[in-house]
Amino acid sequence: MIQLIVFLPLLAAIIAGLGNRMIGNFAAKILTTGALFVACALSWPIFLDFLVGGQTAYVAPIFDWIRSGDLDVAWSLRVDTLTAVMLVVVTSVSSLVHLYSWGYMDEDPDQPRFFAYLSLFTFAMLMLVTSNNLVQMFFGWEGVGLASYLLIGFWYHKPSANAAAIKAFVVNRVGDFGFSLGIFGTFMVFGTVSIPEILEAAPAMAGSTIGFLGYRLDTMTLLCLLLFVGAMGKSAQFGLHTWLPDAMEGPTPVSALIHAATMVTAGVFMVCRLSPMFETSETALLVVTFFGLLTAFFAATVGTTQTDIKRVIAYSTCSQLGYMFVAVGVGAYGIAMFHLFTHAFFKALLFLGAGSVIHSMHHEQDMRHYGALRKEIPITFWTMMIGTLAITGVGVVWLHAGFAGFHSKDAIIEAAFASESSLGGIAFFTLVFAALLTSFYSWRLIFMTFFGKARWGTSEHVQHAVHDHGGKDTGDGTGGYHPHESGWAMLVPLLSLSVGAVFAGYVFTHEFVDSEAFWAGSVAFNEHLIHELHGVPMWVKLASTVAMLIGLVIAWLAYIRYTDWPARFVAQFRVLHAFLLNKWYIDELYNVLFVKPAFAIGRFFWKRGDKGFIDRFGPDGVSALVASGSTVTRRFQSGYLYTYALVMLIGLAAGATWAITR
């Protein structure tokens, strides 16, 4: 069964990709989408077996892969609780994204290629989450990187899409370099790349040292930090996050797939998979906590100023990943996976809902050109409302009932408070403030998009659509355009994900948060932390809800009641607004520190090295020598008989001279 789940998407990708237009759009779509729905249908029983059936972990061997000295790498598929959770997340979201793409990409001429890329992406992620050794994990790790490059740059005729794809690829290479060093170091220390063997031996290595760059460093701290660099790249933690917002240049289904269920969660999954290693190094866990809280705060502040609907949700993803890493850093691995699980549903819902809005607004993404859409696209409106209620953590503390994010995000905040980590207190207050900002920018998105006055007439995209259909500006702010609800191919995934956004947290809280038996043999479980988490004061449990309400009220006042507030704020705090709008100027800083010097070095070697030396004395020099020689010899080819006789005479004289003097 597990073999079918993993390899069906690969088979579908190969057939759709190689067959392409020869098999046609419909065949490519039905093949790839059908394969994903079959994989999804097979994944849920596996998850339920671990959830209620007491299933134990097992390994399905495929074939021997690499044998070289002490390195023995077998291709095999590991299935345990952690894998079962990821199988459900990846296949459920991916199958719905495939179905959604039937409507969203209906007019695209390259549909077989697009669906082949989607299925290839899913296969790589499934290979990553089922890996039983680090080399196989790295194969899947690089596979999702390649597929994301292809998907982000799918519309290659757009320079911005090509630039975003290259940026994602290059930034992730930085993280992957650290990850590969971590794998090399782990093999050197443990003599194996088998994950179970490494995790079994890890506690015995606590306190040992290793030489690195001329220094003696704690072995497990060094290995964990190198591995975490890889997680920072894939999961867009502060410093290596810059590729994530630009990934919005790909089609909206790609954004949902990358942000909700696959690539960005790979780093969280990897750290949880290797949690017994990280448990041996308090320093490594503190570093993970620090970057998690910094990322949550950074992305939340930037999200408050963005006007592109997809970028707001993208920075929301970045912030939520920060929450997950804080949970990992304080030792709450099960809770980190719980938030990953619930986040997949409501984040996919928000992205696909945004895609439905964009589709109805003729590909306009600027929220300043929206407004009053709730009556025009009611199903999209209500599904995005559910997604917003989930991400902002709406619920009733005393009833222990609420939307998905209420259960998982609040559990992270409470775990940070209850933990014994030296950064626990800072993380708690940072995450509560980030929850306030999350509520503000999430409700700001809802109010700007679905409420207020219609501002469609100011959109160039909408005006082009009106002009193409012979419409007229009616003077009511709509520009003569009337948005339309998306087709059922797009609405069915939205409605399906809404169910997860409502119930995923409430139904699975006990197993993910409290059940040590559920996580046995899968991730490290801190029973003491879970006990302390349930004993936190009531004000701690209410903190996130109060922050959510404050963010909601501020957003309502600024974008519904007193609509002049945002402009007045910008005028009053122009420097702060510019700082946030320009994403803390991280991209500009990297441009000065890395991009421009890299181009300068490249130009130097191109002009001085390549053209100035290699070409000059290599191909250009040889060709110049041949040309000069040809000019000289051409003079002897005059066409006159006496010239050839003279040459013959000179030759005979030279030959006679050589014979006489020999």
pLDDT at 638 over 80: no
The per-residue pLDDT for 471 is 56
Q: What would the mean pLDDT of 381-405 be, rounded to a whole number?
A: 92
Q: Is 609 helix (H, G, I), strand (E, B) or coil?
A: helix
| Token reading at 255 | 């954004």
d(CA 406, CA 502): 10
Q: Which residue has the tokens 């900002």?
A: 437
How is the chain split into domains, by residue range?
A: 318-520+537-570
* Highest-scoring range by mean pLDDT, 363-367, 566-570, 617-621, 637-641: 566-570
pLDDT at 611 over 80: no
pLDDT at 470 over 60: no
d(CA 327, CA 64): 36
Residue 37: partners with Cβ closer than 8 Å, 6 or more residues away: 95, 98, 99
8 Å CB contact between 321 and 237? yes
| Token reading at 483 | 């948005």
- Please, which pLDDT band fits residue 473 given cuts at 50, 70 and 90? low
Residue 596: partners with Cβ closer than 8 Å, 6 or more residues away: none
d(CA 408, CA 579): 31
d(CA 550, CA 1): 48
d(CA 14, CA 36): 14
Q: Pick left, alpha or beta for residue 645 (phi over 0 → left; psi -120 to 50 → alpha; otherwise beta).
A: alpha
Secondary element (H or E) of residue 168: helix 159-190
b/e 525-539 (16+ beta carbons within 10 angstroms → b): bbeebbebbeebeee
Average pLDDT in the chain:
88
**Residue in 359, 364, 387, 384 with CA at minimum distance from that of residue 374:** 384
Q: Where are the alpha helices (DSSP H) in 304-374?
A: 309-329, 333-360
d(CA 579, CA 562): 24
pLDDT digits (tens, 9 = 90+) for 139-173: 999 999 899 899 998 888 888 889 999 998 899 98
Q: Is 395 helix (H, G, I), strand (E, B) or coil?
A: strand
What is the amino acid identity at position 655? G
Maximum CA extent, the chain? 119
What is the amino acid identity at position 228? F
pLDDT at 262 over 80: no
8 Å CB contact between 408 and 507? no
The number of residues in the chain equals 662
pLDDT digits (tens, 9 = 90+) for 172-211: 989 999 999 999 999 999 999 999 999 999 999 988 888 8
SS (H, E, C) 18-71: HHHHHHHHHHHHHHHHHHHHHHHHHHHHHHHHHHHCCCCCEEEEEEEEEEECCE
pLDDT at 330 over 70: yes
pLDDT at 62 over 80: yes
Kindly report the pTM of this predicted structure. 0.90
Cα angle value 52/508/94 (rounded, 5°): 95
Q: What would the mean pLDDT of 581-593 be, rounded to a whole number?
A: 91
Beta strands in 328-469 (DSSP E): 395-396, 401-402
pLDDT digits (tens, 9 = 90+) for 415-461: 999 998 889 999 999 999 999 999 999 999 999 999 988 888 776 76
Helix 266-273 / helix 219-234 crossing angle, nearest 10 deg: 160
47 to each of 335, 404, 498, 626, how far by Cα in Å?
17, 18, 20, 73
Residue 250: partners with Cβ closer than 8 Å, 6 or more residues away: 151, 152, 153, 154, 155, 161, 164, 165, 258
